[in-house]
Chain A
Amino acid sequence: MAILEVRDISVSFGGIKPVRGVSFSVEPGSFTSIIGPNGAGKTSLFNLISGVNKIDTGEILFRGEEVHGLHAHQIAERGLVRTFQGAKIIKRLTVAENLMMAVQGNPGDSLWRFFTPRSRSKFEKYARYLAMERLDRVGLTKYADEFAGILSGGQRKLLDLSRALMTNPSMILLDEPFAGVNPTLVEKLLEVLASMRKQYEITFLLIEHDLETVMNISERVIVMAEGKIIADGLPNSIYENEQVIDAYLGSRKRGA
């Protein structure tokens, strides 16, 4: 059964219709990329799936349950997590705190647990341990206790990605996580993603402009333009699609 099923969803803001009748479904454990020109509606699509914006028409099912009526935090709680284009980090929390906030099931999030300091501090230690482990993997250990606001653009991306992974999602939507990250680090991140995928069977949906990355990592590519899906298939088939060449690839056909 598909883990995510999007059925004919649309949204409009005033006169603008960023998403117009999009349908697709994603198999558990798969890796799908979404490409398309600027303004095609890719981020808007993520906003709808993750509950940041509400759909006007259509249906979204996650693990067979309707989620399009839920609040963003409820969708995240169900294990469908996203990152934001351009990396949103909390600047006035430390780097470690940014990550610790993502660990799910923290009893300290409940006000009533103020009166059970033991269980709170035990969980905090555990969250801190997980955070440090994750920082070590992406090479940000020395920034652990600095405000996240001092990180560079690329480091923020690392933090954002790590934080989303920290929630232990069953599916993750990544909005251009590699834009502005240097090539060796991209390679390293791809390795991290691949190992997470193997280990935890996470399902990935990735928005990415770099075609080489897309072709290397994805099992399937969805092409969007003007709010619609114009092509959907194996990575290589995309290169042969006339519509895709017109809308997105231009002269960058295969071999060109």
Chain B
Amino acid sequence: MEAFIQPGFWIFVLAMAGIYGVFSLGLQIQYGVAGVMNFGHVGMMAITGYAIAILVIRFQWSFWWAAFVGVALAALGGALLGLSTLRLSGDYFAIASIAFAEITRYWILNSDGITGGTQGTLAIPNPRGFGGYTDQPDVILYWIMDRLTPYLGDNASRDLAILLVVWPFFFLFLWISARLQKTSWARVLRATREDDDVPRSLGKNVFRFRLQALVIGSVFGGIAGAFWAVQFMLLAPEDFLRIVTFYGWMILILAGATRVKGLAIAAIFFGFLYGATRFVEFWPISLLSAPERSYLRIFLIGVVLIALMVKRPQGLFGKRQEMVLE
């Protein structure tokens, strides 16, 4: 139970909640606004994270340019995914999006010479010998830590610095996205969740709107990937499993897909649910081994979500009426 009461652990959980929050904001725009079911969102995170690592380590780019290009590549990934498959019906797109993320991951896994393969970004060929990619953001993070150490001592950790960087960005993105969702652009997309023929008959190029939503969501997925890359300082293919996408979906479902403001609270709620279930150590659960317990954790989160969907299909913050109209 010790870790349970350590602030360091909860700081980590909150920092991750912020990163996952940005990640699921992308899904919120895609699904909550546009009704596009993207189950390959983790692919965008992987693209940006790896682009940063490769460009900085192998080609010695500045981190900032690498991050910019990395996010642009995630947007491009979203555009390519959309151009090739968004004309399919919703179900087919959902399947294609899973394939997209899996292909991305397999490519990373099998391109040792470029990505470091199974060994992760540590094994990226580096002309200078061993090296990371976070030197430049670390300058900022350590600056923040130095300012806080006099007050917080050991608790002024790198995780805390990341938390303090990520959350303002998350709130900024929430604000932008809330404004975006008040535009007539978003109104057309909300219409397309139900029907394509009506907006088309009113002169709206439904495909263009959807593609834009997919790309914007991918940008947020990419930004989350950049934060993630900085947070962990190294990346490996198994960081980008399908389950990450589903964590993003869990936050979205918790928040209620159409309620952008619920996302911050849902992200924290998810973080604590995820963090806290690590510590269910009492009998009989204590009989299980650590990996078994981590499955149990996912199982428990699943149960909570199902209960929520039955009792409150609109999520914690959604309007019920919107879910039940016939």
Q: What is the interface of chain A, defined by CB distance below 8 A to chain B?
A: 50, 52, 71-73, 76-77, 81-84, 88-93, 97, 100-102, 104, 106, 108-111, 113-114, 117, 120, 123-124, 127, 147, 149-150, 163-164, 167
Most A Cβ at <10 Å: residue of B179, B194, B198, B216 = B198
Q: Is the CB of A88 within 8 A of B198?
A: yes
Q: Is the CB of A73 within 8 A of B204?
A: yes
Interface hits, B187-224 → A, CB 8 Å: 187-188, 190-191, 193-195, 197-206, 212, 216
Q: Is the CB of B202 within 8 A of A163?
A: yes
- B184 contacts partner chain A, Cβ-Cβ < 8 Å: yes
Q: Is the CB of A92 within 8 A of B322?
A: yes
Q: Is the CB of A100 within 8 A of B205?
A: no
Q: Is the CB of A101 within 8 A of B201?
A: no
Q: Is the CB of B321 within 8 A of A147?
A: yes
Number of B residues with CB within 8 Å of any CB on chain A? 28
Q: What is the interface of chain B, defined by CB distance below 8 A to chain A?
A: 179-180, 183-185, 187-188, 190-191, 193-195, 197-206, 212, 216, 321-322, 325-326
Q: Is the CB of B206 within 8 A of A114?
A: no
Q: Is the CB of A108 within 8 A of B184?
A: yes
B180 — which chain A residues lie within 8 A by C-beta? 114
Write the chain B residue with the least CB distance to A84.
Answer: B197
Please report the C-alpha to C-alpha distance between residue A91 and residue B205 in the assembled complex, in whole angstroms: 20
In order of increasing CB-CB distance, the 9 nearest A-B pairs are: A149-B325, A108-B184, A76-B203, A72-B200, A77-B203, A90-B191, A91-B325, A73-B200, A108-B183
Q: Are A147 and B187 CB-contacts (below 8 A) given A73-B200, A167-B202?
A: no
A-B contact pairs, 10 of them (CB 8 A): A72-B197, A72-B200, A76-B203, A84-B197, A88-B197, A90-B198, A92-B322, A101-B191, A149-B325, A164-B201
Q: Is the CB of B198 within 8 A of A81?
A: no
State which of A109, A114, A163 has its C-beta within 8 Å of the C-beta of B204. A109
Q: Is the CB of B200 within 8 A of A71?
A: yes
A76 — which chain B residues lie within 8 A by C-beta? 200-203
B198 — which chain A residues lie within 8 A by C-beta? 84, 88-90
Q: Are A147 and B203 CB-contacts (below 8 A) given A88-B195, A90-B191, A92-B193?
A: no
Q: Is the CB of B325 within 8 A of A150?
A: yes
Q: Are A93 and B191 CB-contacts (below 8 A) given A76-B200, A88-B197, A163-B202?
A: yes
